Amino acid sequence: MRRRFLVCASGSVSEKQEPHAPGRGLIAAFLMTALFMNACSAGDAKSRESQPSAPQAIAVVAVAAVEQPIARFIRASGTLTAEEEAEVAAETPGRVVSAPVELGTRVAAGAELIRLSAAETEAQLKEAEANAAQIEARLGLAADRALDIDAVPEVRNAKATYALAESEFGRIKSLLDQNVVSQSEFEQRRTQMDAARQQYEAARNGAAQLYQSLQGARARIALAQKAFADTVVRAPFNGVIAQRLVSVGDYVTKGMKVAVVVRVNPLRVRLTIPEQFIAAIGVGQPVGFIVDAYPGRQFEGRVRYVSPALQADQRALTVEAVVPNATGELKPGLFATARIEQPARTPGIVVPAAAVQTTGGTSRVFVVTGDRVEERIVTTGQLIGDSIEITKGLNAGERVATKNLARLTDGARVES
């Protein structure tokens, strides 16, 4: 028996024994060789399949970083407040008989907020009017006419008496000159004339005093009319009811608050600006801001007031902006995050926002160099539409990948 060893292309070795019989052994050897060759072919194919293939290139879109002027913004925060807010109080005491407004009711200037019982004030008004009318009758004076003292009845009578006495005195004097009457009768007529003159002067003084009394009566009428009008508490301006503090049946005293009215169009937003930015703030500058109540929406306003002095404790400047609010969406008390555009623009490096991948507060980009990418940590600035500013870690002209970022790693092979 002879032994023969066969080696496959894959390196495997097979032992074969050959018999000494010349015919039968030749056939057996041929069959063994064929089987062995088939086994080798299968092993070689399996070996080729197990060998690793070269990694495929990842398709990316490369965009060059560009340097361009960027509008800079001052960021600040503040709270929305009402344009006007009034704590409306009763100006006369009384019991509430009507309260037609509720919380959130929109009111116009002069609209009724509450109504008080007017029985007492109405009676006081009628009494004052009656007193004034009595004095006007004594003076013979209409309500819309100015005083003519000589037209007052008492004065007119006294004046007529004085004129008659003066005429009689003149006649007696002429008779005395002719020695027709005695000296005693002359003195009597003169005394009568002096008395009539004094009565006339007294009547004039009395009429003047009565007229002053009339002025006081008319003032009491005005006070009574005001007290009567004050039984209706009215809105001081167009606005919304923020609070109603009384109900029907409550008794209110003079000066007691009954409602709070706020004007919500426009609103104010008061912002605190760091001192290093005070030179860039001026009246009329546009202000954009957002509130948590309306995510993704930006509201606009304009600076109306700039404080003349810094807050000493914060080294900051107070700025107030006016915000239109025609729809009433914004409410006083909302917290606002605002930004104010600075006058000058400064250059910065900008890439598409899709090129930046941020994880755990760390931002990175993949810089495309040839057919490879380099992972690079960067520092980002402000968003500019669909782009973002890179303040550190990238130079203008370098190309960054904007597609398939999740599949990229440092040194990965790419095609663009």
Measured CA to CA, the distance from residue 38 to residue 55 in angstroms comes to: 32
Closest CA to 111 of 13, 216, 219, 238: 238
Give me the residues paired with residue 296 across strands: none
Domain 62-72+347-415 CATH (choose: 3.40.1440.10, 2.40.420.20, 3.30.700.30, 3.40.50.10880)? 2.40.420.20
Three-state secondary structure string covering the chain: CEEEEEECCCCCEEEEEECCCHHHHHHHHHHHHHHHHHHHHHHHHHHHHHCCCCCCCEECCEEECEEEEEEEEEEEEEEEEEEEEEEEECCCCEEEEECCCCCCCEECCCCEEEEECCHHHHHHHHHHHHHHHHHHHHHCCCCCCCCCHHHCHHHHHHHHHHHHHHHHHHHHHHHHHCCCCCHHHHHHHHHHHHHHHHHHHHHHHHHHHHHHHHHHHHHHHHHHHHHHHCCEEECCCCEEEEEECCCCCCEECCCCEEEEEEEEEEEEEEEEEEHHHHHHCCCCCEEEEEECCCCCCCEEEEEEEEEEEEECCCCEEEEEEEECCCCCCCCCCCEEEEEEEEEEEEEEEEEEHHHCEEECCEEEEEEEECCEEEEEEEEEEEEECCEEEEEECCCCCCEEECCCHHHCCCCCEEEC
pLDDT attached to residue 269: 92
- Residues 6 or more apart from 334 whose CB is under 8 A from it? 79, 80, 291, 292, 293
> What do you get for the CA distance between the two ends of the chain, in Å?
67
Alpha-carbon distance of 149 to 201, in angstroms, equals: 11
Dihedrals φ, ψ of 209, to 5°?
-65, -40
> How remote is the C-alpha of 23 from its chain's centroid?
111
Does residue 283 contact residue 308 with C-beta atoms inside 8 Å? no
Alpha-carbon gap, residue 102 to 329, rounded angstroms: 19
Q: What is the pLDDT along the chain (416 residues), one digit of tens a residue?
A: 444 444 444 444 444 444 444 445 545 455 555 444 554 444 444 444 445 555 688 899 999 999 999 888 888 888 999 999 999 999 999 999 999 999 989 999 999 999 999 999 999 999 999 999 898 888 888 767 777 888 888 888 988 998 988 888 888 888 877 877 788 888 888 898 999 999 999 988 988 898 889 889 999 999 999 999 999 999 999 999 999 999 999 999 999 999 999 999 999 998 888 888 888 888 888 999 999 999 989 999 999 988 888 877 778 888 999 999 988 899 999 999 998 888 778 899 999 999 999 988 899 999 999 899 999 999 998 888 899 999 999 999 999 999 988 888 898 989 87
CATH class of 74-81+263-343: mainly beta
CA proximity to 378, closest of 406, 407, 398: 398
| Whole-angstrom distance, CA of residue 111 vs CA of residue 236 | 8
pLDDT, residue 255, reads 94
Q: Among 132, 134, 138, 140, which Cα is nearest to 222's?
A: 132
Report pLDDT digits (tens) over 205-262: 988 898 889 889 999 999 999 999 999 999 999 999 999 999 999 999 999 999 999 9
175-183 contacts at long range (C-beta below 8 A, 24 or more positions apart): none
Strands 362-369 and 357-359: antiparallel
